[in-house]
Amino acid sequence: MGLIKEHSITLKTLSLPSKINRQMETFYNPLMISNRNIAILLLNTLPLKNMNLADPLAGSGIRSLRFLKELAPVKINHLFINDLKENFPKVFQENMALNKIKSSNLSAFNEDANLFLLNRVNDSKKPANFCGYFDYIDLDPFGSPNHFLSAAIARIARGGIIAVTATDTAALTGTYPKVTRRKYWSEPLRNYLMHETGLRILIQKVQLLGVQFDKALRPLLAYSKDHYYRVYFQSEIGKEKCDALLKEHHYFLFCAKCLNFKTSYFNNERCRCHHDFTFAGPLWTGPLLDQKLISHMATNNPFPEEQKLMDILHQESMINVMGFYDSHVLAQHFGKEPVPLATVLKAWKGVRTHFSPTGVKTTKTLEEVARLYS
């Protein structure tokens, strides 16, 4: 047995995580500290109070334990925590005691996550100010979130937030395109832009599941990090809002010959260089970041280890375009030495992107950016 410290919480684990895998007695992944930090930062930043929060795939329970300690007290009405693992109730209770958390606004369950989400509406004894719908649902599964999306969408409250982690980035970036088509109803693209297209393919899939129930799921914050994607959707209700979302589902066209790219309703266009475009999609081409939210998160962040990512995302939110130019990829394409990033940013009037350390988002055309290499 070992003790692990993660910010406000000390966690008792049956074995220290030398190897992270699904077979661990209690699942705890230190690589996901950042994922949990950003969830806390986002919830403390959004102007939402008295929330009913659901953590359906809780693992060790570290996320909820941290919510209880690190979210502002006004934030939580009730926290519902669940994991299917047999030993979860015992391990969670032990960790509550270890951290001296005696919370009356917490209920723990040991069910399948879908049943957990759907059944709370039928509970005869519900906590005060809870009608069976959640203001925040955190889906943090192994691999694809697909299995849990329908229940989460069914039980998200108006204006509520669904947070989705996907660690099956190989499926979203088209290691096997058949898998992307089957699981995500979209065509992947494998090139330097694949994490942006993968993230946007995930977003459109979740949105398609939402619109059939007139729920418009708009991303407030979407990013790619390490081995996973993470998206925070805000759920709004209404046919018009859903139609507006669907208008932002397009194809992303990329020319492998000249590196030109654009979005389009069609996937069979020719590039100006007369080469056929390759394509990804359909996918979400709208904003990945709510500018006001990310600006507040970047300026009020209590986690120094997240500051670099917050600052880049904040910059990135200023130029809302799909796709980016990679200064190294372009330099290689034109047979030139790479230009320092600061020079590139100035010349292209661009901003950095978190998708690549050498990537730049800009509204400039390929001809304009290519001048740097002439």
Burial class (CB in 10 A: 0-12, 13-18, 19+), 321: middle
Asked if 333 contacts 300 with a C-beta cutoff of 8 angstroms, the reply is no
Q: State yes or no: residue 141 binds ligand SAM (CB under 6 A).
A: yes
Least distance to ligand SAM, CB of residue 83, Å: 5
User: Which of 9, 42, 54, 62 touches ligand SAM (CB under 6 A)?
Assistant: 62
Cα–Cα distance measured from residue 354 to residue 348, given in angstroms and rounded to the nearest whole number: 17
Q: Which CB sits closer to ligand SAM, 16 or 256?
A: 16
Q: Which is nearer to ligand SAM, 113 or 309 (CB)?
A: 113
Residue 232 has φ and ψ, to the nearest 5°, of -105, 115
By the rule CB under 6 A, 36 interacts with ligand SAM: yes
Q: Are 38 and 47 in contact (CB under 8 A)?
A: no
d(CA 61, CA 361): 38
Distance CA 347, CA 364 (A): 10
Q: Does 57 bind ligand SAM (CB under 6 A)?
A: yes
Residue 81 interacts with ligand SAM (CB under 6 A): yes or no: no
- Applying CB under 6 A, the site for ligand SAM has a residue count of 19
Nearest residue (CB) to ligand SAM, 83 versus 248? 83
Nearer to ligand SAM, 142 or 373 (CB): 142
Residue 82 CB, nearest approach to ligand SAM (Å): 6
The smaller minimum CB distance to ligand SAM, of residues 71 and 244, is found at 71
- Number of C-beta neighbours around residue 85 at 10 A: 18
58 forms part of the interface with ligand SAM (CB under 6 A): yes
Asked whether position 155 contacts ligand SAM by CB under 6 A, the answer is: no
Which one of residues 99, 103, 112, 331 is an interface residue with ligand SAM (CB under 6 A)? 112
90 burial (CB, 10 Å; 0-12 / 13-18 / 19+) is exposed
Residue with tokens 């993968």: 198
Q: Does a cis peptide bond (omega within 30 degrees of 0) precede residue 282? A: yes
Q: Residues in the site for ligand SAM, rule: CB under 6 A?
A: 27-29, 32, 36, 57-60, 62-63, 83-85, 112-113, 140-142
